[in-house]
């Protein structure tokens, strides 16, 4: 029996994953979103992501909390990689290179978090590019996952629809408007609205939200691993293969509060140069000339905005009073409605998606 109606605002990785788990928990789910899988607008973060798993050291309580969500998600992606190849999720080696890593990476104590992932191993000097004689002085490897984000988002939408969920395209002016839009579609439904999930990426006018611009390049070269490199002067480069013939994403910049939607030629040149040096195995001959010079083959640059938030992911519920859809006129009826917020995932939305979705279901079910 249905537990009642839930409206999910947003069809990014957070909204879609939450919708799947809510449907599995027997809620009737309607997604209302401005952007849907298949769209490529800059405000819609999810299709621009690599996306890959990369462990980060845990240095405070907020990071420890996110780490638990990331572990749950890791377990789910391991299952998906073997149970459903059409999801595009694949297990690949993860490799980290550093010119001069901070202690939080090289500290191999369990509680530091970084070294606790499956198949973690510090690389020997002769496994590093330049065999330790170049700028890269430290490295590690572990078991990672990658996915092809546009393909994975469509797969998630299919999972929602296969479980009976509905998807409506609409741009909302405010959270309560979602109840009116969803009611229009199912006028005859007797089910009660129990909650609205706000998975809108940056939230509705939250002053703590801000963007981090990420410029990446899609190249046609295939790659057998996901690789990250942090230089001594604080720059970071990554290589993320996109399974199911999606090429490889290389990048990428992290430009806090930059609203520039246009790719920068300087960033493109910097990414190509550094990535070629950090993982020469990626360079291959052109597909139409097997004897040609090995190189990186640029398809196009991409620009996305990570939905950052001071204080990290907002994952909590609040009770709000809303005007009921059928009550217009001078004597509007109001109702207390639960709003479950799940936005501000920053650069980790995929990494924590299944853990966050489990928590969303708990918050929806709480009194
Ligand atoms: C370049 C780049 C690389 C990244 N790499 C990684 C990675 O390797 N690993 C990782 O885990 N994460 C990565 N991320 C981060 C990840 O992409 C985000 O954390 C994640 O996509 C956020 O998902 P979301 O569902 O919260 O937001 P979004 O994907 O932005 O979705 C928000 C949804 O809300 C809807 N919405 C918003 N406002 C309204 C409104 N007013 N009315 C109706 N609907 C509305 C939108 O239309 C959309 O459907 C990367 C991000 C970028 C940009």
Q: What is the pLDDT of residue 316?
A: 97
Q: Return the closest-CA partner of residue 96 out of 131, 59, 123, 77.
A: 123
Is residue 90's pLDDT more than 70? yes
Inter-helix orientation angle 13-24/353-365, to 10°: 50
Is residue 236's pLDDT more than 90? yes
Taking residues 179-192, what's their average pLDDT?
Answer: 80
- Is position 235 within any domain? no
Q: What is the pLDDT of residue 264?
A: 96
Substitution candidate for ligand 1 out of 19, 31, 33, 156 with most atoms within 8 A of CB: 33
The helix (H) or strand (E) run that includes residue 274 is helix 265-278
Q: What is the pLDDT of residue 226?
A: 98
Contact 162, 102 (CB under 8 A): no
111 alpha carbon – ligand 1 mean position (Å): 30
Rounded percentage of the chain residues whose pLDDT exceeds 90:
77
- Is position 302 within any domain? no
- Is position 11 within any domain? yes
CA separation for the pair 312, 261 (Å, rounded): 24
- Is position 223 within any domain? no
- Is position 153 within any domain? yes
Taking residues 264-280, what's their average pLDDT?
Answer: 94
- Is position 240 within any domain? no
Confidence grade of residue 71 (pLDDT, cut at 50, 70, 90): very high
CA separation for the pair 87, 152 (Å, rounded): 5
Is residue 178's pLDDT more than 90? yes
Average pLDDT of the chain is 93
CA separation for the pair 227, 142 (Å, rounded): 11
CA separation for the pair 242, 13 (Å, rounded): 16
Q: What is the pLDDT of residue 61?
A: 81
Ligand 1 pocket by Cβ (under 6 Å): 9-15, 33-35, 44-46, 48-52, 171-172, 199-201, 214, 216, 252, 304-307, 343, 345-351
8 alpha carbon – ligand 1 mean position (Å): 14
CA separation for the pair 176, 55 (Å, rounded): 37
Q: What is the pLDDT of residue 21?
A: 98
Rounded percentage of the chain residues whose pLDDT exceeds 70:
96
Is residue 268's pLDDT more than 90? yes
Is residue 77's pLDDT more than 90? yes
107 alpha carbon – ligand 1 mean position (Å): 32
Report the first-to-last Cα separation within the chain, whole angstroms.
19
CATH number assigned to the domain comprising residue 168:
3.40.50.720
Q: What is the pLDDT of residue 111?
A: 62
CA separation for the pair 287, 241 (Å, rounded): 17
Q: What is the pLDDT of residue 314?
A: 96
Taking residues 5-17, what's their average pLDDT?
Answer: 98
Atom 9, ligand 1: which residue's CA is nearest? 51
Listed range (121-125, 138-142, 191-195) with the worst mean pLDDT: 191-195
Q: What is the pLDDT of residue 327?
A: 60
Q: What is the pLDDT of residue 112?
A: 62
Q: What is the pLDDT of residue 356?
A: 98
Q: What is the pLDDT of residue 110?
A: 65
Taking residues 334-349, what's their average pLDDT?
Answer: 94
Give residue-wise pLDDT tens across range 298-341.
Answer: 999 999 999 999 988 999 999 999 887 766 667 678 889 999 99
Give residue-wise pLDDT tens across range 132-169.
Answer: 888 999 999 999 999 999 999 999 999 999 999 999 99
Q: Return the closest-CA partner of residue 196 out of 44, 23, 313, 31.
A: 31
Q: What is the pLDDT of residue 98?
A: 94
Is residue 174's pLDDT more than 90? yes
156 alpha carbon – ligand 1 mean position (Å): 14
Tokens 């605002």 belong to 9
- Is position 200 within any domain? yes
Q: What is the pLDDT of residue 329?
A: 64
Contact 289, 308 (CB under 8 A): no
- Which domain does 172 fall in, by range? 1-51+147-208+310-367
Q: What is the pLDDT of residue 27?
A: 97
Substitution candidate for ligand 1 out of 11, 201, 210 with most atoms within 8 A of CB: 201
Confidence grade of residue 115 (pLDDT, cut at 50, 70, 90): confident
Q: What is the pLDDT of residue 140?
A: 94
Is residue 186's pLDDT more than 80? no
Q: How many domains does the chain have?
A: 1
- Is position 167 within any domain? yes
Q: 182: buried, middle or exposed (CB in 10 Å: 19+, 13-18, 0-12)?
A: buried
Q: Pull the structure tokens for residue 108.
A: 């191999």
Listed range (56-65, 113-122, 261-270) with the worst mean pLDDT: 56-65
Give residue-wise pLDDT tens across range 283-306.
Answer: 999 888 889 999 999 999 999 999
Taking residues 179-204, what's their average pLDDT?
Answer: 88
Listed range (110-124, 233-247, 323-337) with the worst mean pLDDT: 323-337
3-state secondary structure of 83: helix
């Amino acid at each position: 029996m249905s537990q009642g109606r839930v409206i999910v605002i947003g069809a990014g990785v957070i909204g879609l994953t939450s919708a799947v788990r809510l449907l599995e928990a027997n809620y009737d789910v309607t997604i209302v979103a401005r952007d849907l899988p298949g769209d490529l607008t800059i405000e819609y973060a999810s299709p621009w992501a690599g996306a890959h798993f990369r462990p980060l050291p845990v240095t405070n309580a907020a990071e420890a909390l996110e780490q638990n969500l990331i572990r749950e998600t890791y377990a789910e992606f391991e299952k998906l990689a073997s149970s459903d190849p059409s999801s595009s999720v694949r297990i690949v080696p993860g490799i980290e290179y550093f010119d001069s890593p901070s202690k939080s990476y090289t500290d191999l104590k369990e509680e530091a978090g970084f070294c606790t992932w499956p198949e973690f191993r510090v690389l020997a000097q002769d496994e590093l590019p330049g065999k330790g004689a170049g700028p890269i002085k430290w490295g590690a490897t572990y078991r990672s996952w990658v996915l092809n984000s546009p393909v994975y988002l469509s797969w998630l939408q299919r999972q929602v629809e296969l479980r009976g969920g509905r998807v409506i395209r609409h741009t909302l002016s405010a959270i309560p408007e979602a109840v009116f839009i969803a009611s229009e579609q199912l006028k005859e439904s007797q089910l009660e609205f129990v909650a609205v999930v706000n998975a809108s990426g940056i939230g509705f006018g939250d002053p703590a939200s801000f963007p981090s611009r990420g410029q990446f390049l899609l190249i046609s070269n295939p790659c057998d691993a996901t690789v990250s490199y942090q230089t001594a002067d604080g720059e970071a480069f990554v290589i993320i293969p996109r399974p199911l013939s999606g090429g490889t994403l290389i990048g990428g910049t992290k430009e806090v509060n930059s609203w520039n939607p246009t790719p920068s030629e300087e960033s493109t040149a910097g990414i190509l140069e550094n990535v070629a040096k950090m993982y020469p195995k990626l360079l291959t001959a052109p597909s139409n000339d097997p004897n040609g010079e090995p190189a990186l083959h640029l398809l196009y640059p991409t620009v996305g905005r990570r939905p950052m938030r001071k204080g990290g992911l907002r994952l909590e519920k609040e009770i709000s009073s809303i005007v009921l859809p059928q009550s217009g006129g001078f004597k509007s009826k109001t109702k207390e409605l639960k709003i479950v917020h799940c936005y501000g995932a920053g650069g980790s939305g995929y990494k924590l998606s299944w853990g966050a979705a489990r928590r969303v279901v708990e918050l929806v079910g709480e009194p």
